[in-house]
């Protein structure tokens, strides 16, 4: 189904669960056409597609391993071929594991970069030509609260370095693309209740959050909607902390 030129199209990685799914649903309600990709969450992908189709929202849900540059480029090409354009890229996906630094395997080390940093570059490179042609675009990358502090992280070292790299890549892309009407910004969540982590573990973290409570997916949704809006057109290369003042 090819969409009319005025219809905005968003591509979300990790878009079928948690924060990504909440963003996809809200954007659909606001009239956006939604493309989302996933790697393993087949049942979540099917339920999201069904939910949006019931609302008569144009949607494409694709299984894609965007840690591959070729797969990332092919995904973007497929979205543009089906919908005629791609206006916003929202990089929500991000594999994570905890392991002591000196016990980390080479595979685990590379996996953190392959899934948290490299896809942001692969996908951004693929979506930019169309955005430049239309002189409008939004790229939003998810990092993590405190990644900008570059502190020691003995149990999530590779993941943390990758997320710090996302911030540098975000700022670099912003400088390169600002003249073309494209903004590139980062959102850095702290502790967000997405429904996937055990409630008792999250509850233990509340004492460390200055705001005194956990964030939820609607907080991320509001942040994304703002950065996509014309009200945020002059915000470029920023890092928005979404953490209740944790990690700042």
Distance CA 150, CA 116 (A): 16
- The stretches in the chain having pLDDT less than 70 are 1-6
> Whole-model pTM?
0.94
- Count the domains in the chain: 1
| pLDDT of 99 | 96
Active-site pick, 38, 96, 122, 160: 160
| pLDDT of 4 | 41
145, part of any domain: yes
26, part of any domain: yes
Q: What is the CATH number of the domain that holds 222?
A: 3.40.50.720
Annotated catalytic, 38? no
247, part of any domain: no
| pLDDT of 200 | 80
Closest CA to 7 of 72, 126, 87: 87
φ/ψ bin of 51: left (φ > 0), alpha (ψ from -120 to 50), beta (otherwise): alpha
Please give the residue range of the domain that contains residue 142.
9-242
14, part of any domain: yes
248, part of any domain: no
| pLDDT of 6 | 53
| pLDDT of 1 | 36
191 CB-near residues (< 8 Å, 6+ apart): 202, 205, 206, 208, 209, 214, 215, 243, 244, 246
| pLDDT of 93 | 87
3, part of any domain: no
Please report, in angstroms and rounded to a whole number, the separation of the first and last CA atoms in the chain. 45
| pLDDT of 195 | 75
| pLDDT of 112 | 96
């Amino acid at each position: 189904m090819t969409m009319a030129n005025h219809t905005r199209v968003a591509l979300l990685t990790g878009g079928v669960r948690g924060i990504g799914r909440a963003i996809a649903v809200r954007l659909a309600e606001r009239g956006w056409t939604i493309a989302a990709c996933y790697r393993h969450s087949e049942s979540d992908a099917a339920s999201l597609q069904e939910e949006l189709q019931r609302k008569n929202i144009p949607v494409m849900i694709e299984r894609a391993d965007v840690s591959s540059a070729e797969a990332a480029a092919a995904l973007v090409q497929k979205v543009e071929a089906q919908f005629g354009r791609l206006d916003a890229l929202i990089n929500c996906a991000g594999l994570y594991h905890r392991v002591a630094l000196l016990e980390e395997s080479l595979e685990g080390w590379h996996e953190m970069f392959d899934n948290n940093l490299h896809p942001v570059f692969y996908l951004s490179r693929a979506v930019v030509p169309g955005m430049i042609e239309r002189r409008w675009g939004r790229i939003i990358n998810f990092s993590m609260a405190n990644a900008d502090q570059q502190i020691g992280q003995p149990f999530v070292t590779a993941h943390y370095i990758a997320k710090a790299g996302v911030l540098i890549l975000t700022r670099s892309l912003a400088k390169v693309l600002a003249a073309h009407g494209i903004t590139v910004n980062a959102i850095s969540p702290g502790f967000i209740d997405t429904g996937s982590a055990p409630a008792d573990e999250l509850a233990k973290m509340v004492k460390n959050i200055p705001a005194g409570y956990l964030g939820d997916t609607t907080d991320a949704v509001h942040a994304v909607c703002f950065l996509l809006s014309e009200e945020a057109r002059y915000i470029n290369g920023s890092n928005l902390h979404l953490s209740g003042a944790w990690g700042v």
